[in-house]
Chain A
Amino acid sequence: MPFFKTIRWVVWKDLISEWRTRETMSSMLFFALIVILVFSFSFSMDQDAARQLIAGIIWVAFTFTGIIGLGKSFTSELQNDCLESLQMCPAPKGAIYLGKVAANFLFMLSVEILLFPLFVLFFNLDVIEAVGTLLIIFFLATLGLSSVGTLFSALTVQIRAREVMLPVLLLPLAVPVMIAAVEATRGALSGDPFSFYSQWIQLLIIFDIIFTVVSFWLFEFILDS
């Protein structure tokens, strides 16, 4: 099967199965809502404190929600031995990886875009000028999280205690994404000029490129046995 066609089919397959069950997206959304509630209970915030903390809160909520989605991405393949079919599939493994990354990326980004208005509502943010840059930041950081996360989702799916091991392995490696995303979001929300935080966006781009290439290469070793 040609490379790009495989990618398209993997994405299509994930989207269809998600459309039929609506499991991943709904659990991610509810989890994120609960995280937002817990945060607003644990820091009783006024306007100033909210501006200080909001970038961190947004990204903690997005990252943990993303981990739920990433975990589901391969555990759903365990039913009916779908994972083995993927292993035996005569398609390039890299294409399967890229398809999975694209599907995870779509899920995570759409949840983020659905959630962000709630953040604006709950924490009284003033975002109208920053929406464009925020979208770029969300796009890049989500791509970084899903490129590393898909690799580790595939890696942890075949071991014991997989629900615990995915965050344990993924979060230390995602430290640069977290820092860059939080800093860039904080800059964008506080209305700084773009040049103040463009370095963080560069860091995100570099991270995305490096880890998409590296994971693309390493994914072959996970699925071969």
Chain B
Amino acid sequence: MTGLYTRWALILGATLLLAILTYQHYQQHLSTLSMGTLLSSPPVTQPVRIQGMVKSGTLQGDVEQGQATFEFVDGAASLAVEYQGPPLENIRELKTLVLIGRWDNQAQIFRARDTALINNFGFVAAAYLISVLALGWMVFAMSQRVMVLFKEIKESKLYEPEADSLGHKE
């Protein structure tokens, strides 16, 4: 039963690896940049994801053909967007969504290529963390208890009736 802790170290390592991989995946492919960061230090080559709202009264172009221009706002900051990509089925004014594309610093225009749904990674992460941690902790506690019990049984002495005050055995 000395293998218990090695086994659990392996499982813990695998879980951590998975968590790190997921976090990297999230950082690279799913996290959104705030508009302020984009404007102050624009990454030139990488496509970025920004979240915001279509400003009312600015949506123009042929949405079904996948071409549109509009202003995109996030709090105080705003951007001019030129969209060219897959047909936009469910875009409308005042809709909050995530745009994927490049920031053109010279023209001061965000050239979007695709859209995505707003992400709620907090919820996903919470659900996974709660279930994995609770289950893992339970299984670990149970295996440890088995080990302790085995040891205790081995060490405990067989029952002998105690002598009472008169010296008689029960």
A–B direct contact (CB < 8 Å): no
Give B contacts to A, CB under 8 Å.
Answer: none
